[in-house]
Amino acid sequence: MKSRFRFHLCCVCMLALAIVGCKVKRPDDVISESKMENLLYDYHLAKSMGDNLPYSENYKKALYLDAVFKKYGTTEAVFDSSLVWYTRNTEVLSKIYEKVSKRLKAQQNEINHLIALRDNKPKMSESGDSIDVWPWKRLIRLTGEMMNDQYAFVLPADTNYKDRDTLVWEVRYHFLEPMLADSLRAVTMAMQVIYEKDTLNRLETITDPGVHQLRLYADTLGVMKEIKGFIYYPGVQGEKAGALLADRFSLTRYHCSDSLSVAERDSINQLEALKTDSLKKVSDQKDTKISKDSLRKVDDLKDNQRISPEEMNRRRTVTPEKKPEQIGAVLGGAAVVFAILSAAIFVLLVGFARPISALMQAPAEALTLTTRYVRICGAGIFFIVAYNLMSAIFRGLGDSRSPLLFVLVACLVNVAGDLLLVAGAYKDWAALGCGCRNFMAFGEFPEVGGERDITRRWLKPGVLLDGKLDTVHPFDAGKIAEHVRHSWYEGEEARAPYDGETKPAFTRMGDTDRYSWLKAPRYDGLAMETGPLAQMLVSYAQGHEAVKPAVDKVLAALGVGPEALFSTLGRTAARGVETLVIAQQVEKWLAEYEANIAGGDKKIAMECSVPKEGRGVGFVNAPRGGLSHWLRIEDGKIGNFQLVVPTTWNLGPRDAKHVLSAAEQALVGTPVADPKRPVEILRTIHSFDPCIACAVHVIDGETNQVHEFKVL
């Protein structure tokens, strides 16, 4: 007996442990369930109070919410982070909101009761066929002035309201002298009924005195929730308006449960026994007679076919219902049609590429290249059509995620494919545009807590000298200096950026001594290349887990070695590889960011203070290359502020020792087929910076003539 008891006791304990173990553990920094329930209850009340404020008092919205957070000893940041956790645990949040909803509903019922007591009206409307449910005063006077130009009401429905009830709001209007109601200053009478499934509205413009009605009726919208309405009598600024007197208010509710019972071909409901409060009885279905107090007449019952709720919703939204057997046929037909169109476009672009290029007004010297490009477009038309067709199909089926994945895959394939395609066609440019063979990278994407330490970045900083990938030198900011000897600035000697000056000293265009508005920054006296190629080479030499495999794949696909990266082609390829590896890493960073928010970490900026004296520098690897801001503080103010930008590193002039910049060295030895159309020069400049090419001009050294040409 004792053993059996022990066995049962062990089972109960194990079950209890299992239940406790399966329960979702709430982090300590997340607001507890009980406190969250009370907070959400007051939070929604405060939000509702703020939403009902007039425009001039919108500033109180934040005060209402702050009062709620102070009441519970928390902050908005803690509340938001806690809510993120609860939204991830929907079961816990749904239970909390069930309790909050019950409390809010009970509060609403209590308020309705108080309103009924105030207006000397019963809490519930009376039952019956035709009942006046208007609980307010029966007479109002509007003058058209700002504070007296409208009258509004909100009436909650109770259990005596039934499905398919008809509401008739009736008001009598008097225009007191002077009579100013016209087409521009007419009275607006509007009513809205909120149902379980939708909302109905009715509006009427009143220009004549007398009794006016608004009638609202819904057959398939479900239970009535609330009735709203207003009377608006506008005024004109600077003019005295005549007063409007409205009386004999009534809001009559008619039960209409008989409207479906007389329809012989009704597909919605079967005949039910009529309740005692119906407007009329049906004694004989075969010989039905409509009573005189019916809200509408039925002339021919056999042709009075009712509209189902589904059909009504379909007509309202103009959205055809989904029929699987038809969807398949449509998809199959669409696939066939687009396949035929793709084939036709393919034949047209591939077979008639040269005439099409001529129609595009391609220059004679570029006609062959243009023809090749048109044929490439024709060959890819099948993929373009297939991508768009599949995206449209999935969107039509209600799947919006798959098209997004198609876009991601297409972009990655496009980047990689373009790189390999272009590189394969211009392999000779792997031996051109080498440059200085010195590369400098600042790194990018700091680790958590490593914002002020450039060594703690996902892409690491480093320096490569003379194209040697076996040695990565550490970056030293103290070795940077700027030369202005051949720039249009005052000065002869190189200066550290902290002490740099920018004093213009323009000489003349065509000057071979001072010839650029760019300074010439140098690292330890050496010209350096910065940008995507520099960062990818530094990361490749460091064995970066994402960069090295991507670079190796590109090199293997092209059948070239790492030395091919020191070229115009290498720079272009590096920009694509950089885009690829960063795009792949972004997904992980977004997941980390989401986790940080869920944990309450929403900090996006570091706190700092301006010292009395000091200096500092910030390094970032911008899309064009290494960017640095150098700041010196004197007496609590900015004493000097200098920027050393990627363009000056790559495209600056000679320095004081007549050493050429990276781009100048890369252009040396570049073959030019046509001196009047030196597209080869722009090709190399493009590899450094796609946006700087438009600022490059080719000037004839003998005639000083600036050549103009089109880049295809």
Whether 697 shows a pLDDT value over 60: the answer reads no
- Average pLDDT of the residues in 674-697: 74
Question: What pLDDT does 76 receive?
Answer: 87
Q: How far apart are CA 486 and CA 655, in angstroms?
A: 7
Residue 493: strand, helix, or coil? coil
Residue 110: its H or E element: helix 90-118
For the record, the structure tokens of 447 come out as 């680790």
| Lookup: tokens for 316 | 């309202």
Contact predicate 449/603, CB 8 Å: no
Please list, in sequence order, all residues whose beta carbon lies within 8 angstroms of the beta carbon of residue 432, skipping any fewer than 6 positions away. 567, 568, 569, 669, 670, 671, 680, 684
Contacts 24+ apart (CB under 8 A), 280-286: 282/258
Rounded-to-5 percentages of helix, strand, coil across the chain: 40, 20, 40
Q: What are the residues facing 628 on neighbouring strands?
A: 619, 644
For 555, phi and psi rounded to 5 degrees? -65, -40
| Tokens representing residue 154 in the block | 């909100």
Tokens of 706: 């600036």
Q: At what angle do helices 60-71 and 33-51 cross, to 10 degrees?
A: 160
Report the C-alpha gap between 268 and 261 in whole angstroms.
10
- Separation between Cα atoms, residue 565 and residue 191, nearest integer Å: 73
Query: Is residue 372 packed enough to be buried (19+ CB in 10 Å), middle (13-18) or exposed (0-12)?
Result: middle
User: Which of 201, 223, 226 minimizes the C-alpha distance to 214?
Assistant: 201
User: pLDDT of 272-318, one tens digit each?
Assistant: 433 444 444 434 444 444 344 444 443 443 444 444 444 544 444 44
Q: Say if CB 539 and CB 459 are below 8 A apart.
A: yes
Structure tokens at 633: 């503080």
pLDDT given at position 482: 94
- Encode pLDDT of 122-160 as tens digits: 566 777 778 888 877 778 888 877 777 888 888 888 878
The answer to whether 407 and 658 have CB atoms below 8 angstroms apart is no
47-56, 139-148, 343-352: which is most confident: 343-352
Beta strands in 220-299 (DSSP E): 224-232, 244-254
Q: What pLDDT shows up at residue 118?
A: 67
Angle between helices 547-558 and 568-598 (to 10 degrees): 150
DSSP-derived letter for residue 626 is E
- Those residues whose C-beta lies under 8 Å from the C-beta of residue 446, and which sit 6 or more positions away, are 453, 454, 456, 457, 458
Q: How confident is the model at residue 425 (pLDDT cuts 50, 70, 90)?
A: low
DSSP letter assigned to residue 57: G
Over residues 195-211, the pLDDT tens digits come to 888 888 888 888 888 89
Check whether 110 has a pLDDT greater than 60. Answer: yes
Q: What is the pLDDT of residue 4?
A: 59
Q: Where are the alpha helices (DSSP H) in 512-567?
A: 532-541, 547-558
Instruction: Output DSSP code: residue 617.
Output: E
Q: What is the pLDDT of residue 628?
A: 94
> Cβ distance 27 to 598 under 8 Å?
no
For residue 95, give both structure tokens.
């239970």
**CA–CA dist 403, 389 (Å, integer):** 10
Tens-digit pLDDT profile for residues 604-652: 777 788 899 999 999 999 888 999 999 999 998 989 999 999 999 999 9
Angle at 588 between CA 583 and CA 593, to 5 degrees: 115
CA distances in angstroms from 664 to 301, 492, 520, listed in the order given: 92, 21, 12
Per-residue pLDDT tens over the stretch 384-408 = 787 777 777 777 666 766 776 666 6
Residue 580 has pLDDT above 60, yes or no: yes
Asked if pLDDT for residue 681 goes beyond 60, the answer is yes
* Separation between Cα atoms, residue 353 and residue 346, nearest integer Å: 10
- Cis before 178? omega within 30: yes
Q: Which helix (H) or strand (E) holds 392?
A: helix 381-396
Give the span between the Cα atoms of 711 and 679, in whole angstroms: 7
Residue 415 has pLDDT above 70, yes or no: no
In percent, the amount of the chain with pLDDT more than 90 equals 20
Which amino acid, residue 18?
A
Question: Mean of the per-residue pLDDT values for the chain?
Answer: 78
Task: Please state, as a whole number, how many other Cβ atoms lie within 10 Å of the Cβ of residue 501.
Answer: 12
Grouping H, G, I as helix, E, B as strand and the rest as coil, residue 27 is coil
Contact by Cβ (8 Å): 520, 648? yes
**Which DSSP state fits 638?**
E
State mean pLDDT over 502-526: 89
Cα–Cα dist 86/107, whole Å: 25
Predicted local distance difference test score (pLDDT) of residue 481: 95
Query: Taking residues 217-241, what's their average pLDDT?
Result: 78
**Nearest-CA neighbor of 500 among 302, 658, 632, 368?**
632
